[in-house]
Amino acid sequence: MIKRRFGIDIDGTVTCPSTFIPYLNKSFRKNLTLDDITDYDLVPFLDTTEEELNEWMERYEPIIYSEAPLANGALEVINSWKDEYELYYISARGRHLYEITEKWFQQQGVHYHHIELIGSHNKIEAVKKYNIDIFFEDKYDNACDIAEQCMIPVILFDTPYNRGPLPKGVIRVYNWHEAKQQVEKLLTTTS
């Protein structure tokens, strides 16, 4: 029997969406909370330039990714799927972060079948390449684009920065346990 394949974003989906905030607050002398971040673009919240933020990211990404806390319920739910489904992580992280990423998965005990770091937010090609059946995401436009262009269901993890109207095929959830319930619903209606 062919196993269904789940495509799973890492940052803000498997990791806690507020992971970056303490580092940003310290470096940019801010006092932001996750609720303050109402857009995926961080530049306006930090009073900085895109160039400065990119330089900051290059410097701090390896540290942040190696220390990132798991999202609530992620470990339990994802690992409950490891024998039944194929778990393909598709992330915008740069390929140079692969070792740090894989080590984090191993240290956290999060199961994976494949990790693809594409270095870009455009995940459409990877979703098609790996024949993903359901995708899990926190970035609003990614969720909408994947649902519309790949015609697969996308589970969108609610955050203050992704609260736009949802097209058909995008399902908003508030935690991993809700995501699991939605997957069960989707798979009973399509099997």
List residues with catalytic annotation: 9, 11
- Can you list the alpha helix ranges (DSSP code H) found in the chain? 21-28, 43-46, 50-67, 74-81, 98-108, 124-129, 140-150, 176-190
Other beta carbons less than 10 A from residue 93's beta carbon:
22
How far is Cα 142 from Cα 124, in angstroms, rounded to an integer?
8
> Residue 146, CB half-sphere, CA atoms under 13 Å: how many?
34
User: Phi and psi of 153, rounded to 5°?
Assistant: -70, 145
Report which DSSP code applies to 97: G
Where on the phi/psi map is residue 88: left (φ > 0), alpha (ψ -120 to 50), or beta? beta
Residues in a beta bridge with 3: none
